[in-house]
Amino acid sequence: MYLAKLGHKTATYDYSKVGLAKTVRLAESEGVDLETHLQVLTVADALPKNFYDLAVNIFGHVPSEGKENMLKNLIDCVKPGGKVIFEFYSKRQLEFQTGGPKRSDMLYDLKELEKEFSYYDIEIISLDEKIVERHEGTMHRGRSAVIQGYLKKK
């Protein structure tokens, strides 16, 4: 929504019809246009390849068996020179209990992400685990352990 409000052509992907309906309502209330796509991101080739300038994934929490495809889709969908930005809860988030999944297999580990990203032709601009304060609705409130990443596709 934020990028659409800044005037960027924006598309959103979600596996939930309810989530997409909420996105549409919010976009209408904010007076912005954006595309919505009902799509499971944990299947191979879920997104168009080399299409977007920027991909953003916030709290893309999926079971372990879907992580590889989700990350591949995220990187593959941007054009060469395109950027990928994400924030995921880290496995340390279980210590805080301030939001996110309660299952460790749906959370992320910095070393696992570093290993996964080594298979791609990307530049890691930044990849850090941080303790942050989040106040995002009723489900994400308080000190949180996150992994933030900023990648550039070569």
Number of domains, the chain: 1
Measured in Å, how far apart are the chain's first and last C-alpha atoms?
27
pLDDT in the model for residue 71? 98
- Identify whether 11 is part of a domain: no
pLDDT tens column, 115-144: 999 999 999 999 999 999 999 888 888 999
pTM of the full predicted structure?
A: 0.94
- Identify whether 73 is part of a domain: yes
**Average of per-residue pLDDT values in the chain:** 96
Residues of the chain with pLDDT under 50: none
pLDDT in the model for residue 123? 98
Residues 37, 21: Cα–Cα separation, whole Å: 11
To the nearest 10 degrees (0 to 180), the angle between helices 110-117 and 64-76 is 50
Query: Cα dihedral angle (129, 134, 136, 140), rounded to 10 degrees?
Result: 70
pLDDT in the model for residue 109? 96
- Identify whether 93 is part of a domain: yes
Residues 6+ apart with CB under 8 A from 86: 56, 57, 58, 60, 74, 147, 148, 149
Between the alpha carbon of residue 4 and those of residues 25, 27, 132, the distances in Å are 14, 9, 25
pLDDT in the model for residue 82? 98
Between the alpha carbon of residue 42 and those of residues 13, 25, 65, 84, 136, the distances in Å are 12, 25, 8, 17, 25
User: Tokens for 153?
Assistant: 């596709």
**CATH code of the domain covering residue 92:** 3.40.50.150
pLDDT in the model for residue 145? 97
Q: Structural domain of residue 64, as residue ranges? A: 57-153
